[in-house]
Chain A
Amino acid sequence: MMMCKEATRLMSLRQDRPLTFQERLSLRLHLSMCSACRECDRQFTLLHEAGRRYHPEHDDAEQGDDGH
């Protein structure tokens, strides 16, 4: 059975390359049983998205509402 630490390795990896079938399977199994890792997976995805948002163009696009 894969433990959380190893699961986070796969969660990180899948932000950088497609996982193999075997990797996907064991990650999915772990996530189905571990709520803390599900949160971690969301956080890694959010970090990935945050990196893309760091770009000034997004700042530009989202300014309208609060105007600064």
Chain B
Amino acid sequence: MNEKEDRLQRLTAVRPRLVSFALMHLRDRSQAEDAVQEAMMSAIEKSENFAGRSGYETWVFGILKYKILDAMRVQKRHGRWQPLEDEGDDDAIDRQFQRDGRWQEDARPSRWGEPEATFENEHFWKVFDACMIALPENAARVFSLRELMGLSTADICHELDIKENNCWVILHRARLRLRACIEKGWLKEDTA
């Protein structure tokens, strides 16, 4: 009884983070909410499969990952994505570098401070979320699968049916965009 209530409470508490995680991958609020709903339902239904208390959120999160991958497959099958093979020029990246490949003066990376302090700062995470949402859709998808879900690029290629080289190009661009966006939003606010 008590344990059941405790788990329901923990599910409710973690729900907003699950939704924002799903949103990063699916880029569609109602589909993200659906995936989270399904994950929560199966967490409740299969709660006897869970052993131990400390990693409950992690366990639910693991279920959500599968739901997200399913939903992504459906999205892709229904042609809801722009072609992933499109490797055209990327203005946003080119703006960070001069013609000869050096950094543009106003794009040179600055120091962000110690990682631990950064991760403890709530504002950093707000900026991180906002910058993830601002990424082009395919860049956000591949980056999320790689860095948030921890899939290997080989798995991502298999999942999305693209070449690994393509994956690396997309990730390189996503990281450059993210770093520029975060630096703008994070350091500015920090010194204000």
Chain A residues with CB under 8 Å of chain B are 3-6, 8-9, 12-13, 15-17, 36-37, 39-40, 42-57, 59-60, 62
Contacts and interface: CB of A to CB of B under 8 A. Distances in A.
Contact of A51 (B55, B101, B147, B168): B147
Contact of B171 (A4, A16, A39): A16
Given A8-B172, A8-B176, 15 more contacts: A12-B175, A13-B172, A16-B146, A16-B167, A36-B108, A40-B109, A43-B183, A46-B112, A47-B179, A47-B182, A55-B58, A56-B17, A56-B57, A57-B57, A57-B61
Nearest to A53: B119
Say whether chain B's binding surface is mostly helix, strand, loop, or mixed: helix
12 contacts: A3-B102, A4-B103, A8-B172, A12-B168, A37-B103, A43-B183, A47-B182, A48-B147, A49-B115, A54-B21, A55-B61, A56-B58
Interface string B78-101: 000000000000000000010011
A39 B181 CA distance: 15
A42 to B, nearest CB: 7
A12 B175 CA distance: 7
Interface residues of B, number: 41
B58 A12 contact: no
Contacts of B103: 4, 36-37
